Structure 1
Amino acid sequence: MLGLFGMFFSVIEIAIYERENLEAVTWSAELILTFVGYTVAFLMYYSLTPLILQTSGSTWFNLSLLTTDMWAVVIRIFFYQQQVEWLYYVSFAVVGVGLLIYSKTEKNPNLSQEPENGIPNSQYQLIHEQGIN
């Protein structure tokens, strides 16, 4: 609902504050497809983010976001035929290896240990209150 109302208010603001700029735009199929591609990309981003956070956690998600810069480099090389420094390739490999190492490690090592106080381990445990002096 936040996205829906955000879009609604953004359209109203654009109609009020950016009317002259919108009228000055020369609309073409390429420009419209660019906006559609941008919209689809962000729809996928905001739709997949909760799923990734639920299945893999925030650390894996943040590590994955590091690769977005690397994909920009790939586009720069293949679409614009520009050269990049060799360190880009090294950093891409380091981030990729970091993602692999993180995804292959045990998710919650505390759950596999024997309980010390006889209370069975679970994902959530009550915290004992400390006396206030």
Structure 2
Amino acid sequence: MKKITKTILKIAVIGTMLASAYLLGTTRTETVIETQKVIEMVEVIPDGYIGLNEAIPLEDVACWFMDGYDYPCFELKDVATQYNADNTRSYADILETLPDHTAEFQENFIDMRMVDDFVATENGLHLYFEDGTGHYIEID
């Protein structure tokens, strides 16, 4: 009987110590509150940035075409005089006055992403495409 009483007393003391430790830990510590500031991202244009209407005056554009990636490309009339004028016309206004070479470009365009294999010869280059077709480029 004495042994059972000691065991019950040990369990009661350990339980009391655990309960006291829990209560001391929860009542004596501060709740940590973290605040986070929301920072608004603002795009800063660098000092060296040159706007399109300042870089190449649109009057100096000679023609345009759509490349193989459907991106408009512009050819200049004279690269020596590309910085003489400031112009604020839109691309649509410029394109109306210029010859469109898109059809000619697409006729001569080879999409190098579709080349599966090639053979270089003394007189030219054979390109073989993924769809089984080929193209020969003769070197002058």
TM-score tier after normalising by the smaller chain length: under 0.3
TM-score, with length taken from structure 2:
0.20
TM-score, with length taken from structure 1:
0.21
Higher helix share: 1
Larger radius of gyration: 2
